Structure 1
Amino acid sequence: MLLHLVKKDLILAKRYLLFMLIFAVLGPLFIYNRLGFASGSFASFLITVLFIEYILFNMVSMHEDKYKGSALLCTTPHTRNSVIQAKYLFILVIFIASFLLYNLAVAIGTTSGMSKLSIYNIGISLLIIAVFFGILIPIQTRFGYEKTKYIFFILIFLTPFTLPAIIELVLSTGIQVHFELPVSQAMKAWIPFVIAFLIGGASMLISIRIFAKQNL
């Protein structure tokens, strides 16, 4: 059931899907060459995946708002819970696809110095995505697409200007934060994934409760 809803979202976003797939490969290469600092690979992937996730999710939300898609879906065998769950699964599917295409970009740009991401950096990227959409989806579910689209549009398009500056500032100041946990180094690398899924799960439950009370 959920996969059918994700497929529906991909069809709704098909106008930009091919462009986003190309951008998932070329975007990191372009951004990395523009950044020019030690964490450029991580920053280039994060900026790229944020853009791709937001543009595709925004396109789906726009179509659903225009044609009352959520209300129509609730007249089908799909439950209200599955409609919300599919939104989060859609975000995860796009993240995985973007990561796989990033590795293709690394293979293409081996001479540029761009490198593969560590497990920890992948987890941090997923965590940031989880926080962003963990806030966006419940707010959009509560207030609707039209009332919220400009807020998140401004935030996402400020990212290429603010994120590299923040990363570079942290690197230049030498700030390091260490948390001593009673787990192995290998386990520590997976902690961002656990936090990301906890945030995503909590956000999904909130969105489900909001959506369940709405009069469609």
Structure 2
Amino acid sequence: MLLNLVKKDFLLTKKYWIVMFIAAIALPVFIHTKIAFFSEAGFLPFFLSTLYIIFLLFSTVSMMEDKHRGAAYLCATPYTRNTIVRSKYLFIIAIFLGCYVLYTLTTLFSPIKINMLGISDIGQTFFIVTIVFSVIIPVQYRFGYEKSRYIFFFLIFLTPFLLPNMMKIFQSNGITVVDLLSISQSIMGLLLVLMALVIGLISLRISIRIYSNKSL
């Protein structure tokens, strides 16, 4: 039943599949050519392209469900609210994995040299994306799509302007996240994935509690 709900979300966005497929390939290449100071790693191109794609697909599903009262109709089916909420988190993880596969294929076949992702790059991206959507989903369940969409829209699209400047500051001082934690990149990446899963589970519990008590 859970997978059926995830499939439903993908079907709601099917007219954007080709656009998102192209974006998942073209955005990392474009970002690599524009951000020379970060050319030795794949984190920033992968992070920005993945964040945008997940946000746009998630927002599309939320908009369509809000417009057609999809949540109310779903709750009238055998699907429990618990299952409905879980499917949203699984939907985001599925998109993340898809973006990773496409990015990897792009690094192999792109005429422009793009570095392969390391465990640290994957961990950092998954961690930040998880934090972002661990906030977005409960807030959206609490206040609704219409009230929350503009706030998150501006936050998401301000990211490419803020993050590169922060990375420049760290790099100009010879500081990386690995240096701050004094551990290897691989271990840091695995720790970040583990922390992301814990944060995601906490967010999931909060979302389920909010949605279970919400009147539709």
Shorter-chain TM-score bucket reads: over 0.9
Map of 1:138 onto structure 2: 138
Map of 1:66 onto structure 2: 67
Query: Which of 170, 177, 181 is matched with 1:179 structurally?
Result: 181
Map of 1:215 onto structure 2: 215
Q: What letter matches 2:157 in structure 1? A: F
TM-score of the two chains, using structure 1 as the length reference: 0.93
Closer/same/farther in 2, CA of residues 185 and 13 from structure 1, 3 Å limit: closer
TM-superposed CA distance for 1:188, in Å, is 4.1
TM-superposed CA distance for 1:89, in Å, is 0.2
TM-superposed CA distance for 1:189, in Å, is 3.3
Map of 2:148 onto structure 1: 148
Instruction: State yes or no: 1:98 paired with 2:99.
Output: yes
After TM superposition, the structure 1 stretch with the greater mean CA deviation from structure 2, 87-96 or 38-47, is 38-47
Instruction: State yes or no: 1:77 paired with 2:65.
Output: no
Unaligned 5+ segments in structure 1 are none
Query: Does the Cα contact within 8 Å between 2:13 and 2:57 map onto a contact in 1?
Result: yes
Write out per-residue CA displacement over residues 43-102 of structure 1, whole angstroms, 9 at most, x where no aligned residue. 011000000000000000000101111111011111000000000000000000000000
Q: Distance in 1 between matches of 2:54 and 2:135?
A: 14
Q: Distance in 2 between matches of 1:163 and 1:113?
A: 22
Q: What letter matches 1:21 in structure 2? A: F
TM-superposed CA distance for 1:174, in Å, is 1.7
Partner SS state of residue 167, structure 2:
helix
Partner SS state of residue 171, structure 2:
helix
Map of 1:108 onto structure 2: 109
Q: Distance in 1 between matches of 2:169 and 2:112?
A: 23
Map of 1:192 onto structure 2: 192
Partner SS state of residue 94, structure 1:
helix
Q: What letter matches 1:114 in structure 2? A: I
Q: Distance in 2 between matches of 1:189 and 1:123?
A: 4
TM-superposed CA distance for 1:15, in Å, is 2.1
Q: Distance in 1 between matches of 2:175 and 2:34?
A: 24
Closer/same/farther in 2, CA of residues 136 and 185 from structure 1, 3 Å limit: closer
Q: What letter matches 1:70 in structure 2? A: A
Closer/same/farther in 2, CA of residues 152 and 205 from structure 1, 3 Å limit: same
Q: Distance in 2 between matches of 1:67 and 1:185?
A: 45
TM-superposed CA distance for 1:130, in Å, is 0.3
Closer/same/farther in 2, CA of residues 179 and 164 from structure 1, 3 Å limit: closer
Q: Distance in 1 between matches of 2:157 and 2:59?
A: 13
Equivalences for residues 51-62 of structure 1 within 5 A = 51-62=52-63
Identical-pair percentage: 43
The total of aligned residue pairs comes to 213
Q: What letter matches 1:174 in structure 2? A: G
Query: Does the Cα contact within 8 Å between 2:2 and 2:86 map onto a contact in 1?
Result: yes
Q: What letter matches 1:143 in structure 2? A: F
Unaligned 5+ segments in structure 2 are none
